[in-house]
Amino acid sequence: MKGKTFTETQIVKILKDLDSGKQANDVARENGISKATLYNWRKRYSGMGASELSELKALKEENRRLKHMYAELALDHRLAKENYRKKALKPAQKRLIVSDISQETEFSIERACRVLQLSTGVFYYKTVKNDLPVVDVLNELAEEHPTRGFDWYYGNLRNRGLPWNRKRVLRIYRSMDLKLRRKRKRRILKRPKQPLIEAQTLNETWSMDFVSDALSSGRRVRTLIVMDDASREALAAHADYSLCAGKVIQVLQQLELERGLPLSIRTDNGPEFISKKLAKWCEEKQIERKFIQPGKPMQNGYNERLNRTYREDVLDAYFFDSLEQLRILSDKWLDNYNSKHPHRSMKGLTPNQKHILLKENATKKEELTVKINNQV
C-alpha cells in the first residue's frame, strides 16, 4: 500500500499534540503512523513552524537538484574532454563520435550531441549528393594518367564540357586520396623456367642475392651475397646502407681480380639485377644472365640456403651498432664458412676443399686433352 503523505502544516500540528502531553502511542495511532516516524519528525523538525519546515524541505529539494545537475555536467565535461581533439572536428567526424558514445554508454543521441556541440539536425542529416559520376571520371583519368595532378584533371573535365565546379571536384579528389601519386606496377618480363642444374666446374655459374637487416639505431642495411654454385664457396658478403647496380659491379670487379669471372650469373628480378647498367657490363664481359621466375626463390636454391646460413650465423647472432662492425663480422664469417663448413651434398667437404678438388680435376682434364691432341 502506498504510504500517506503529510504536509508541513500537518507535521507541525502532530508534533504540537505530542508536546502538549499526549502519549506517543495515541498520537501515532490517531494519525496512522509508527512511533519511529513520530520520533524522527520530532528529532528533525522540533521547534519549527510550518513555514520554516516548508523552507527546509524546499532547500533540500534544491540541494538534491543542484547535486544531480553538477554530476550531469561533470560527466558531460569528462566525455567532451575524452572525445575532443585539439583542433576543431568536422561534422562528419563528430557524427561518428556521437554514435560511439551512444553505443558505448547509456547516453541518448540528444545528450551526446549536446556534449559535442553538434546539432541533432546535423547528426540525422542524410546527404542527397550523388558523386558517383565524378568519382568514375576521376578514376578513369587516374588510371590513364597516374602522374598528373588535380589541375590537369580539372582542366580535362572542363574541356569535356562537364558542369562540375572546382570546389566539388577538389573535395572528391581529396576524399579519393588521389593527391597521393599512384605508383604503376613494375612490369617484369616473363622468365622461362630454368632447372637448377649443379655446375661441374669452377666459375661456371655464380649466384647473387641480397639479405636485409637493421642496425641498433634502426637504419636499414643490406648485404650482397655472391657464391660459386660448383664449389659452394661464398665469394663475397658485402654490406652497405645502399647497394645499387654500380656497387654490385664494383664487387664483381673485385672478384674478377681475385679469381676471374663466371660464364653465367643467376639472380632474381630485383631492380639492381635487371638494371641497364649491369646488363651492359655483363654484355661487355660476355657473361650470361639467368633470371629466376618471379615468386620462385627456390629456383636460386643454392644461394637461398647460403643466405639462411649467413643470417643465422651473423645477422641473428649479433646486435650491430655500426656498418663497420657488420663488415668485420661478415669477413670473418666468409673465411670460416669456406674453410670449416662441411656440406653433406659434397660428401662432407668444405667449400675450399671442393675448390681444390675441382681445380685438380680441371687440370687433369686439360692434361689429358693436350696428350690426346699430341697423339693425333
The torsion angles phi and psi of 46, rounded to 5 degrees, stand at -65, 130
Instruction: Please state the domain extents for the chain.
Output: 8-94, 132-175, 205-362
- Cell 638494371 found at: 275
Q: At a CB cut-off of 8 Å and minimum separation 6, what does 358 contact?
A: 200, 201, 202, 230, 231
Amino acid at 272: E
Q: At a CB cut-off of 8 Å and minimum separation 6, what does 371 contact?
A: none
Q: What is the pLDDT of residues 186-234, one digit of tens each?
A: 666 677 777 778 888 999 999 999 999 999 889 999 999 999 999 999 9
Contact, 98 vs 89, CB < 8 A? no
- What is the rounded distance in angstroms from the CA atom of residue 339 to the CA atom of residue 352? 6
* pTM for this entry: 0.53
Q: What is the pLDDT of residues 114-132, one digit of tens each?
A: 777 778 888 888 777 788 8
Question: Given the DSSP bridges, would you call strands 264-267 and 205-214 parallel, antiparallel or unpaired?
Answer: parallel
- Considering the segment(s) 205-362 as one domain, its CATH architecture is 2-Layer Sandwich (3.30)
Q: What is the pLDDT of residues 329-368, one digit of tens each?
A: 999 999 999 999 988 888 889 999 999 998 888 888 888 8
